Structure 1
Amino acid sequence: MDYSNNYSTTSYGAQGGASGGGFLPGSQTDSPSTGKRSYGKDTLRPVTIKQLVDAHHPHPDAEFFMIDDSECTQVTFVGQVRGISTQTTNITYKLDDGTGIMEVKVWIDAEAFADPADPSNQKAKPVEQGYARVWGRLKAFNNKRHVGANIIRPIQDHNEIQYHLLEATAVHLHFTRGPLESLQQANQQKALGNGAQSNGYNQGFDGAAAGTNAGGTKGLAPGASRAARQVYTTLMNAPQTHEGLHLQDIATRANMEMAEAHKGADELMQMGLTYTTVDDQTWAILDV
């Protein structure tokens, strides 16, 4: 994926889609009175609700928000529907993604809404306690934020929830730490100079560096246990696919008991350095 200022992303099944530069229906035009925006500035970004809550205006008169010090117009996120309120002019959904709660407003086209034969009214609708994906724009009214949705649809495949969180993490790392390719080049040059192998993306959100050298787990937090260090070294050095290594394979390679290896892997996950992939027993380094 290309996460530059005009990054593109997958459409996730949205009609009209986010492919082709991340544009959405209705996203390429603003109020006629503004006339301030251009097509090139309108992008689609995967986010968490906490990022929406923490977003800020670059200056008091700005009509857009900044996330990770980058301009953000259209956003997409996934959450569980905690409540639905139907009004005359709009339907308000209250979504929770585990990082926060955000209201999502969908404006009702009276004629289309009243016509049961209209194809748009035959689509599946989000339901309470179900999961939904939203595409829209972050707005503020009377100091209260909400997302004005272009599209909202229920989640059919729950793998999409995890995929979205991983993609939001990848984009966050891109804007806060730079493109992966640049970091890899810098780390390769550094390795040539001091013989160390490092990777700037192996630094957890808690700030604990996870770079390693030929001797072991140099960059782990000082309080990391012996088991965590063994598991981390094994994951970093053992040949593997993008799915990572199964816990039994980790234990065998590190000459550890299964319980000890599992304890070490859990500790690394709490530090933000590893995650489970195809199942709860398969682990990989968080290296997006």
Structure 2
Amino acid sequence: MDYTNNYTTTSHGAQAGLSTGGGFLPGSQTADSPSTTNKRSYGKDTLRPVTLRQLIDAHHPHPDAEYFLIDGSEATQVTFVGQVRNISTQTTNVTYKLDDGTGTMEVKVWIDAEAFGQNEGEEEGGGGKASKVVVEQGYARVWGRLKAFNNKRHVGANIIRPIRDYNEIQYHLLEATAVHLHFARGPVELLEQAKGGAGGGGGAHSNGGGAGGAAPAPGQLPPGTSLSARKVYQAIRNTPQSNEGLHVQQIATAGGLEMTEVLRGGEELTNLGVIFTTVDEHTWALLEIEG
């Protein structure tokens, strides 16, 4: 599957959800941001499955940009699943706080009084109806756009609906991982070709993903890995730990590193698929395939 410029479908009816929901809820463009926000993106919208950590780590390509990059690619519409930790209802919007295990994010659904009255009998859709079917501590799927206001990020939601099939949670995480690896290491087809043509040069074409894009062998990292990342890797690998891994402070102590160096190295190792977060975003463990 080609995710590069046109990722528009996800499992569990993500694309269908966008069509049947009618795009933006009334007021979602004007109340959430100036009319010019993300203007350049509306003509070429894509839909990408993500984790909340990816939204937290997304960045602007330059100071004046009104859009975000994830894995170096422009992200317009995103979809994710998470557990609803809190619901707050205001006059103009309902704010949901979602947690997917990688981070937390506020999701705002703008309320239109007329739409609320018209859709009151519907199960899903409409600005205010979602608050009646999405409940605290339940799971929900969101479609929307990442936005920033006063240096705080949130998602302006087009649609939010409850999760009824809990398999959808795992399916989504697998799908988000597959798309992340596509952008971080290259298409599967190219990686397979690199492995097949291999010899000594297969890994050189795999966007830093190691030999032919495969996970690095235990104790080894791809050529070009920074010194900070190598120090963090060795600190995690050589320090006794539980199945939950090590907190960043423990890693800094074990490796004799500054916290900024640990965070920088950890981000690089995460992008390489070498470490992953466990109990929280600052606790890491190694992801190794024993040969």
Structure 1 length-normalised TM = 0.63
User: Which structure 1 residue ranges, 5 or more long, are not aligned?
Assistant: 211-220, 225-269, 275-284
- More contact order relative to length (CA 8 Å, sep ≥ 6): 2
Q: Aligned partners of 2:17 and 2:183: how far apart in 1?
A: 23
Task: Indicate whether 1:43 and 2:46 are aligned.
Answer: yes
Residue pair 1:126, 1:153 contacting (<8 A) in 2 also: yes
Residue pair 1:96, 1:102 contacting (<8 A) in 2 also: yes
User: Which structure 2 residue ranges, 5 or more long, are not aligned?
Assistant: 203-209, 223-232, 239-284
Matching residue of 2:169: 161
CA-to-partner distance for each residue in 1:157-207, whole Å, 9 max, x for gaps? 11111111111111111111111101111110115999xxx9744316x99
CA-to-partner distance for each residue in 1:137-170, whole Å, 9 max, x for gaps? 0000000000000010011111111111111111
Q: Aligned partners of 1:101 and 1:35: how far apart in 2?
A: 23
With over 3 angstroms needed to count, the CA separation of the structure-2 counterparts of 1:175 and 1:36, relative to structure 1, is same
Q: Aligned partners of 2:215 and 2:48: how far apart in 1?
A: 23
Residue pair 1:79, 1:131 contacting (<8 A) in 2 also: yes
- For residue 188 of structure 1, the aligned residue among 176, 190, 196 is 196
* Alpha-carbon offset, residue 109 of structure 1: 1.2
SS of residue paired to 1:151: strand
Matching residue of 1:127: 135
* Alpha-carbon offset, residue 61 of structure 1: 1.3
Task: Indicate whether 1:6 and 2:6 are aligned.
Answer: yes
SS of residue paired to 1:186: helix
Structure 2 length-normalised TM = 0.62
Q: Aligned partners of 2:177 and 2:197: how far apart in 1?
A: 26
Matching residue of 1:112: 115
With over 3 angstroms needed to count, the CA separation of the structure-2 counterparts of 1:50 and 1:17, relative to structure 1, is same
With over 3 angstroms needed to count, the CA separation of the structure-2 counterparts of 1:40 and 1:200, relative to structure 1, is farther
With over 3 angstroms needed to count, the CA separation of the structure-2 counterparts of 1:125 and 1:273, relative to structure 1, is farther
Q: Aligned partners of 1:43 and 1:187: how far apart in 2?
A: 30
Matching residue of 2:155: 147
Residue pair 1:44, 1:75 contacting (<8 A) in 2 also: yes
Q: How many residues align?
A: 213
Identity over the aligned pairs, expressed in percent? 66
Q: Aligned partners of 2:101 and 2:55: how far apart in 1?
A: 13
Task: Indicate whether 1:60 and 2:63 are aligned.
Answer: yes
With over 3 angstroms needed to count, the CA separation of the structure-2 counterparts of 1:49 and 1:15, relative to structure 1, is closer
Matching residue of 1:264: none
CA-to-partner distance for each residue in 1:212-267, whole Å, 9 max, x for gaps? xxxxxxxxx9979xxxxxxxxxxxxxxxxxxxxxxxxxxxxxxxxxxxxxxxxxxx
* Alpha-carbon offset, residue 33 of structure 1: 4.4
